[in-house]
Amino acid sequence: AQTVTQSQPEMSVQEAETVTLSCTYDTSESNYYLFWYKQPPSRQMILVIRQEAYKQQNATENRFSVNFQKAAKSFSLKISDSQLGDTAMYFCAFMDSNYQLIWGAGTKLIIKP
C-alpha cells in the first residue's frame, strides 16, 4: 500500500526564518503527482504547491519551494522568509495512478513573532 509519512508532528520558528518540512512516501509507481496543502486555523485547506514526478525541476511558488528527490522518495517543503500568516497545519499528499490522494498526518507549523 502507498503511504505518506510526515515525521515532524510540530515545528516552530521565528518570523523571517527559513523552515523545511519533510515528507517521504512509498510507491512502486513511476508517474505520479505530489502536493503540499496548508490548513490554517480557519481549517480551510489551501493548495500550496504541486510537483509532477516526471519533472526534474523543483516546483516554486513565491516563498514556497520543494526539494523533490525521486530516488529517495522525498518531497520536502521549504518556506523562506516565514510570516505569521504561515502558521498552519501542512499536509503532504501523493496522487496515485487511480487519481486518489493519499495524505500524510500533517505537520503543525508555528511562526513566532
Residue from 44, 56, 71, 85 touching another protein (CB under 8 A): that is 44
CA distances (Å), origin 76, targets 32, 79, 98:
16, 10, 23
Residue 66 engages another protein in binding (rule: CB under 8 A): no
- State which residue, 71 or 99, has the beta carbon closest to another protein: 99
Q: Is 101 in the site for another protein (CB under 8 A)?
A: yes
Please state, in angstroms and rounded to a whole number, the distance separating the CA atoms of residues 1 and 93: 14
Rounded CA separation 45/108 (Å): 14
Based on the shown chain and the rule CB under 8 A, indicate whether residue 106 belongs to the binding site for another protein: yes
Under the binding rule (CB under 8 A), the answer on residue 46 touching another protein is yes
86 phi and psi angles, rounded to 5 deg: -80, -10
Q: Is 51 in the site for another protein (CB under 8 A)?
A: no
- Of the pair 33, 64, the CB lying nearest another protein is at 33
